[in-house]
Amino acid sequence: MSESGQTWGREFKAHPAEAHPVREWVGIRLDHPDAPQVANELFASVMATGTETVEMTLSTAGPRIRVTAAGSVGLSLLHSHGPGFSIVSGLSVTSGVNSDGQGLWAELTTKDET
């Protein structure tokens, strides 16, 4: 399978009303049933830091999908390993905190690659 892929990015206001548009935006771009839920949990965690906006980035490469949510405020342990962490962990192959400590990411794979 080819390793070429695509990347999309979009900034959302850090407000609970934006969670639905985040899920819709992800669902339109990624053909993975768990991607909208993972994106929602990442968005909610970053939003809870008090940042004004959340930058969502979606990237594909071959069978891999990476969903990233980043803000402008450092994540506390609660934000990076809070209630949504178990959902993200259960639905993704791997996940973590961005190197600057202000965002979260999760990697998914197509079902036939897990």
Per-residue model confidence (pLDDT) at position 84: 87
Structural domain boundaries enclosing 97: 7-113
Q: Does 34 map to a domain?
A: yes
**What is the CATH classification number for the domain harbouring 48?**
3.30.565.10
State yes or no: pLDDT of 114 exceeds 80.
Answer: no
Q: Is the pLDDT of residue 112 over 70?
A: no
pLDDT digits (tens, 9 = 90+) for 28-77: 999 999 999 999 999 999 999 999 999 999 999 989 999 999 999 999 88
pTM tops 0.85: yes
| Mean pLDDT of the residues in the chain | 92
Residue 2 is assigned to a structural domain of this protein? no
Within a domain: 1: no
Rounded to whole angstroms, the Cα distance separating 33 from 54 reads 22
CB 69 within 8 A of CB 92: no
Within-domain flag for 39: yes
Structural domain contains residue 21: yes
Q: Is the pLDDT of residue 1 over 90?
A: no
- Total domains in the chain come to 1
Q: How far apart are CA 100 and CA 5, in angstroms?
A: 25
